[in-house]
Amino acid sequence: MFTILKKQELAPSVKLFVVQAPLIARKCQPGQFVILRIDENGERIPLTIADFDRAAGTITLIFQEVGHTTRQLGRLSAGDALLDLAGPLGKATHIEKFGTVVCVGGGIGVAPVYPIARAYKEAGNKVISIIGARNADLLILEQEMAAISDVLYITTDDGSKGRKGLVIDPLKEMLAAGEKIDLVMAIGPVIMMKSVAEVTRPYGVHTIVSLNPIMVDGTGMCGGCRVSVGNKNKFACVDGPEFNAHEVDFDGLMARQKMYHSYERREHRCGGDCSCHR
Amino acid sequence: MFVSSIKHKMPEQQPEIRRRNFDEVALGYDDTTAKAEASRCLQCKTAPCRQGCPVGINIPAFIKHIREGDFTAAIDEIKTKNNLPAICGRVCPQEDQCEKFCVVGKKGEPVGIGRLERFAADYARARGRKQKVILPPEPLGKVAIIGAGPAGLSAAGDLARMGYKVTVFEALHAPGGVLMYGIPEFRLPKEIVRQEIEELKELGVEIVVNAVIGKTFTIDELLTEEGFDAVFIGTGAGLPHFMDIPGENLNGVYSANEFLTRVNLMKAYKFPEAGTPVHAGKRVAVVGAGNVAMDAARTALRLGAENVYIVYRRSEEEMPARAEEIEHAKEEGVEFRLLTNPVRIIGDERGWVKGLECIRMELGEPDESGRRKPVPIANSNFVLDVDTVIMAIGQGPNPLVQQTTPGLAVNKRGNITTDETGRTSKEGVFAGGDIVTGAATVIQAMGAGKKAAAAIHEYVQNKRKGARNSQ
Ligand SMILES: Cc1cc2nc3c(=O)[nH]c(=O)nc-3n(C[C@H](O)[C@H](O)[C@H](O)COP(=O)(O)OP(=O)(O)OC[C@H]3O[C@@H](n4cnc5c(N)ncnc54)[C@H](O)[C@@H]3O)c2cc1C
Ligand SMILES: Cc1cc2nc3c(=O)[nH]c(=O)nc-3n(C[C@H](O)[C@H](O)[C@H](O)COP(=O)(O)OP(=O)(O)OC[C@H]3O[C@@H](n4cnc5c(N)ncnc54)[C@H](O)[C@@H]3O)c2cc1C
Ligand code: SF4
Ligand code: FES
């Protein structure tokens, strides 16, 4: 059992847990994730390790309540425990001194971007971060990102905080102005990662995205997480989750994420019409 | 006394009922039938049946106990060699093993050795009978086992009995390997797997789940920082193969591993009571004709599919699945499309499977394996109207451990290479089961685990002796 030591609400429907998991905390690196299962009937779901404290033996998970399991998770409190937690899984981010790195986090994607951006910074890079959300209430980790970034841009769809617009807007401007960018790292909704890839492609700027296909085991034995990268099938849980954005078949990924839509609604017994479902 | 020339039948659920439920198909012998079947054994002095058993069970001895009605003595005899008899009695291909060599089988049907093993194990389990174990006060050493499939569990059981402190590291949340996630409930109830593994724990075996070796720990860390004297790798052949044909990433296409894991390990057949969904369409094509394909096809039927097709490029004769599994699948209504090979999966505008384009095949000259090679018949393409496609064309070795263990030799297919005792190229590291042989059988994996346990014992004792002498 993995005890939740701390719970914090970062935004409506976005929660942070600090979980006791010494074996995972000992080994994990930025870019890696865990698979968790709440209880005996639970589904296995992947969540990124958003932070860790090796000395305390804890990891931090930040999740958005989007469906059955994440909402059930959101109802747990400090003192409750998760039945299963496996990890660290996936390949760690390749960290070295590249020069100038732009880190883009959209929505809940800011959570996985944070430890990676921090590691780039610690490796001596100039880190320019762009974080965005639909509105000010949904923006997370602003202070944390500010602390580790040389420059931080904030965007919201409705302009309630920072610039009105999308996270790709500042990126477009930087590239158009001829700013030297050595690497772009983008994590967020698939549609956002796809737009980032399209923005950087003409400039030939190496761009990495962290993919979030549906997973079961997370250890490479089912192929449920397969995505087409450079026209080859890759298993995101072991070959990734990070890939070269210019090679990823984002449309295929989006289609596969919808595979269980009708089942997910059935699960809520509300027919999918209640306010819990977008 | 009259001795029947055929095996006593084991009662089964009727096909038209069982094809829609996940309860066990075969129901097992009762006491009387077990004794009668045991009486068919000639108690041969040479016991040729024993050479066919990879774990070396004393077959005539346990059968004699059953004939005499001493069922607990029977299970005690089996358990000296086999840690998982209720499982082996159910899933071993006895026709290729012990029963193949049975003398009685020369004239009629061989003795039902597997059915008798199953009977004895179930009898003891139903009565909660526990084995007596006396463990030494000081363990002989510490051994780490990677993977809680049949290979790892059998090595663990044997080493624990010898007096080692054994820790099994398993990546998934439940031990059992294929027994838990692959072989379906209706052939091997998961409760039986769970109970048989519980008994191993009573021998002092510790099982750590959610531990992915290569990630959570590396083999080198286990041997140094964690202080294990030796490591056994039994990580299986868990990497699903796909065909690399167009359309394989459409929604509704599964590897058999994913499909079966969702249903068996995650209990998706109980959705939404269990949280994991599975999509079993109305018309399902399963590509392949091994045991895995039969399991996937029969599972799809039980989830409510109306038509389930086995699509196989060779003919009935070459199908690798056990005859009994094929028979069961047919009885339940699985349809066979033989000499048929998929070339493309066709999707609808929403990205879902709507058909499987196939080409008809004919058999040509024999290939390296001695089987006649299927060759496509030009212009014979046709579309099978299906909404789900399950790929059951084989599995490769799970690469996580090999990738993170320097100095561990593998062959060109990625399987770990060992000598006949299970020793790898790396000192103190042993391996066995599907990770060494490629996809094989439960009992072969257990046999490999048993051999490696003996080799590990020898290795650790020599090492300790060496350490003492040089002091
Ligand atoms: C490597 C990896 C890391 C992730 N890290 C985080 C994280 O740090 N924080 C976080 O909030 N989420 C993260 N996710 C996404 C998270 O796993 C899903 O939101 C979660 O599985 C949804 O489960 P649910 O039962 O609540 O929702 P469901 O009822 O299963 O689904 C709700 C909605 O989410 C979609 N969905 C289902 N599974 C996924 C998935 N794996 N990814 C994206 N959408 C999905 C469904 O299609 C549906 O629209 C990560 C995913 C991956 C693969
Ligand atoms: C659907 C199906 C049906 C079958 N039916 C039969 C049958 O009827 N009869 C028969 O004899 N055989 C059958 N087989 C074959 C048989 O199940 C295998 O040969 C046998 O299970 C091999 O045992 P193993 O211990 O080598 O590997 P596995 O059973 O595959 O176990 C390996 C274990 O290692 C774990 N693991 C992998 N990597 C790691 C890691 N890095 N760290 C920690 N743990 C790890 C896995 O999660 C798994 O639990 C079937 C196989 C399948 C897939
Ligand atoms: S070969 Fe057959 S008859 Fe002879 S001992 Fe073995 S099971 Fe009995
Ligand atoms: S989640 Fe099963 S292979 Fe990646």
Same domain for A196 and A268? no
DSSP designation for B11: P
User: If 0-12 CB within 10 Å is exposed, 13-18 middle and 19+ buried, where does residue A214 land?
Assistant: middle
- For B315-454, strand residue ranges (E) read 335-337, 340-347, 353-366, 372-376, 382-384, 388-391, 395-396, 429-431
If one compares B83 and B213, the residue with the highest pLDDT of the two is: B213
Last residue within a domain, chosen from A154, A184, A206: A206
CA end-to-end span of chain A, whole Å? 32
Phi then psi dihedrals of residue B244, to 5 deg? 60, 45
* Count of beta carbons in the 10 Å neighbourhood of residue B7: 19
Q: With b meaning 16 or more CB within 10 Å and e meaning fewer, what string describes A195-213?
A: bbbebbeeeebebbbbbbb
Same domain for A223 and A263? yes
Averaged pLDDT score across all residues of chain B:
91
Which residues sit opposite A208 in a β-bridge?
A185, A244
Instruction: Tell which atom from ligand 2 comes closest to the C-alpha of B435.
Output: 26
Residues from chain B that touch A42, judged by Cβ atoms under 8 A, are: 275
Is pLDDT above 90 for B134?
Answer: no
Nearest CA-CA partner of B213 in B127, B152, B262: B152
**Residue position matching structure tokens 């070269």:** A244
Same domain for A193 and A104? yes
The minimum CA-CA distance between A97 and chain B, rounded to whole Å, is 25
Residues 6+ apart with CB under 8 A from B126: none
Predicted confidence band at A271 (pLDDT cuts at 50, 70, 90)?
A: very low
Query: Rounded mean pLDDT of B155-161?
Result: 94
Same domain for A71 and A145? no
Same domain for A218 and A195? no
Interface contact flag, A255 B277, Cβ < 8 Å: no
Query: According to the annotation, is A225 in a ligand binding site?
Result: yes
Contact of B398 with chain A, judged by CB distance below 8 Å, is answered with yes
Q: B116 vs B6, B79, B106, B140, B418, CA distance in Å?
A: 14, 14, 19, 35, 34
* Number of residues written out for chain A: 278
Long-range Cβ contacts of B32-35 (<8 Å, 24+ apart): B33/B8, B34/B66, B34/B71, B34/B115, B34/B116, B34/B119, B34/B120, B35/B66, B35/B67, B35/B69
Is pLDDT above 80 for B331?
Answer: yes
Looking at residue B2, its pLDDT comes to 59
Query: According to the annotation, is A72 in a ligand binding site?
Result: no
Same domain for A123 and A186? yes
The domain that holds A73 is classified in CATH as 2.40.30.10
Same domain for A171 and A69? no
Q: What is the DSSP string of B167-220?
A: EEE-SSSSS-THHHHTS-TTTS-HHHHHHHHHHHHHTT-EEE-S--BTTTB-HH
Whether B234 lines ligand 2, by a CB cut-off of 6 Å, is yes
Render pLDDT for B374-398 as a digit per residue (tens, 0 to 9): 999 999 999 999 999 999 999 999 8
Predicted confidence band at A272 (pLDDT cuts at 50, 70, 90)?
A: very low
Cα B432 to chain centroid, rounded: 14
Residues from chain B that touch A84, judged by Cβ atoms under 8 A, are: 173, 209-210
Looking at residue B399, its pLDDT comes to 87
Span from the CA of B261 to the centroid of ligand 4 (angstroms): 11
Is pLDDT above 60 for A270?
Answer: no
* Number of residues written out for chain B: 471
Predicted confidence band at A277 (pLDDT cuts at 50, 70, 90)?
A: very low
Lowest-pLDDT range of B146-160, B267-281, B295-309: B267-281
Interface contact flag, B277 A44, Cβ < 8 Å: no
Cβ(A78)–Cβ(A54) under 8 Å?
Answer: no
DSSP designation for B316: G
Cβ(A85)–Cβ(B208) under 8 Å?
Answer: no
Looking at residue B17, its pLDDT comes to 86
Whether B57 lines ligand 3, by a CB cut-off of 6 Å, is no
Q: Is B260 helix (H, G, I), strand (E, B) or coil?
A: helix
Contact of B402 with chain A, judged by CB distance below 8 Å, is answered with no
The domain that holds A148 is classified in CATH as 3.40.50.80
* Count of beta carbons in the 10 Å neighbourhood of residue B409: 11
Residue-range definition of the domain harbouring residue A223: 211-277
Render pLDDT for A59-101 as a digit per residue (tens, 0 to 9): 999 999 998 899 999 999 999 999 999 999 999 999 999 999 9
Looking at residue A278, its pLDDT comes to 36
Give the separation between CA A77 and CA A15, rounded to whole angstroms. 11
Is pLDDT above 90 for A3?
Answer: yes
Looking at residue B471, its pLDDT comes to 64
Cβ(B21)–Cβ(B15) under 8 Å?
Answer: no
Residues from chain A that touch B242, judged by Cβ atoms under 8 A, are: 223, 226, 233
Last residue within a domain, chosen from A71, A89, A107: A89
- Locate the chain A residue with the closest alpha carbon to B241: A223
Looking at residue B146, its pLDDT comes to 97
Give the separation between CA B354 and CA B336, rounded to whole angstroms. 19
Instruction: Tell which atom from ligand 2 comes closest to the C-alpha of A217.
Output: 47
| Tokens encoding B280 | 């079993």
Which residue lies with its CA nearest to atom 53 of ligand 1? Answer: A212
DSSP designation for B83: S
Give the separation between CA B326 and CA B269, rounded to whole angstroms. 23
Same domain for A114 and A77? no
| Tokens encoding B343 | 């070339």
Give the separation between CA B2 and CA B4, rounded to whole angstroms. 6
Span from the CA of A46 to the centroid of ligand 1 (angstroms): 7
Predicted confidence band at B466 (pLDDT cuts at 50, 70, 90)?
A: confident
Q: Helix/strand/coil (H, E, C) string of chain A?
A: CEEEEEEEEEECCEEEEEEECHHHHHHCCCCCEEEEECCCCCCCEEEEEEEEECCCCEEEEEEECCCHHHHHHHCCCCCCEECEEEEEECCCCCCCCCCEEEEEEEHHHHHHHHHHHHHHHHCCCEEEEEEEECCHHHCCCHHHHHHHCCEEEEEECCCCCCEECCCHHHHHHHHHCCCCCCEEEEECCHHHHHHHHHHHHHHCCCEEEECCCCCCCCCCCCCCCEEEECCEEEEHHHHCCEEEHHHECHHHHHHHHCCCHHHHHHHCCCCCCCCCCC
Cβ(A209)–Cβ(A236) under 8 Å?
Answer: no
Please name the member of B242, B266, B398 whose beta carbon is closest to the beta carbon of A220. Answer: B398
Same domain for A83 and A99? no
Same domain for A221 and A271? yes
Residues from chain B that touch A24, judged by Cβ atoms under 8 A, are: 216
Averaged pLDDT score across all residues of chain A:
91
| Tokens encoding B379 | 């212009």
Q: Which ligand is nearest to the CA of B53?
A: 3
Same domain for A64 and A12? yes
Give the separation between CA A42 and CA A67, rounded to whole angstroms. 13
Which residues sit opposite B146 in a β-bridge?
B169, B233
Span from the CA of B421 to the centroid of ligand 3 (angstroms): 28
Give the separation between CA B447 and CA B52, rounded to whole angstroms. 11
| Tokens encoding B68 | 């005499």
Whether B89 lines ligand 2, by a CB cut-off of 6 Å, is no
Contact of B304 with chain A, judged by CB distance below 8 Å, is answered with no
Interface contact flag, A221 B248, Cβ < 8 Å: no
Q: B288 vs B93, B180, B201, CA distance in Å?
A: 19, 21, 37
Which residue lies with its CA nearest to atom 4 of ligand 3? Answer: B44
Predicted confidence band at B145 (pLDDT cuts at 50, 70, 90)?
A: very high
Interface contact flag, B277 A83, Cβ < 8 Å: no
Whether B48 lines ligand 3, by a CB cut-off of 6 Å, is yes
The minimum CA-CA distance between A123 and chain B, rounded to whole Å, is 23
Cα A27 to chain centroid, rounded: 19
Last residue within a domain, chosen from A189, A206, A223: A206
Span from the CA of B273 to the centroid of ligand 4 (angstroms): 23
Whether B231 lines ligand 2, by a CB cut-off of 6 Å, is no
| Tokens encoding B102 | 């049975």
Enumerate residues lining ligand 4, CB below 6 A: A 215-218, 220-225, 235, 237
Is pLDDT above 60 for B242?
Answer: yes
CA end-to-end span of chain B, whole Å? 67
User: Rounded to 5, what percent of chain B is helix, strand, coil?
Assistant: 35, 20, 45
Same domain for A181 and A159? yes
* Count of beta carbons in the 10 Å neighbourhood of residue B3: 11
* Amino acid at the residue A98: F
Give the separation between CA B182 and CA B292, rounded to whole angstroms. 8
Is pLDDT above 70 for A216?
Answer: yes
Query: Rounded mean pLDDT of A22-34?
Result: 94
Query: According to the annotation, is A143 in a ligand binding site?
Result: no
Q: Which ligand is nearest to the CA of B109?
A: 3
Cα B386 to chain centroid, rounded: 29
Please name the member of B240, B251, B275 whose beta carbon is closest to the beta carbon of A42. Answer: B275
Predicted confidence band at A264 (pLDDT cuts at 50, 70, 90)?
A: low
Query: Rounded mean pLDDT of A230-242?
Result: 94
ipTM, two decimals, is 0.91
Pairing of strands A14-20, A58-64: antiparallel
Predicted confidence band at A275 (pLDDT cuts at 50, 70, 90)?
A: very low
| Tokens encoding B353 | 């499977």
Nearest CA-CA partner of B91 in B149, B34, B160: B149
- Which of A33, A43, A215, A233 to probe ligand 4 with, by most ligand atoms within 8 A of CB? A215
User: If 0-12 CB within 10 Å is exposed, 13-18 middle and 19+ buried, where does residue B30 land?
Assistant: exposed
Which residue lies with its CA nearest to atom 2 of ligand 4? Answer: A222
User: Domain tally for chain A?
Assistant: 3
Interface contact flag, B249 A233, Cβ < 8 Å: yes
Contact of B243 with chain A, judged by CB distance below 8 Å, is answered with no
Give the separation between CA A28 and CA A18, rounded to whole angstroms. 15
DSSP designation for B51: G
Contact of A270 with chain B, judged by CB distance below 8 Å, is answered with no
User: If 0-12 CB within 10 Å is exposed, 13-18 middle and 19+ buried, where does residue B202 land?
Assistant: exposed
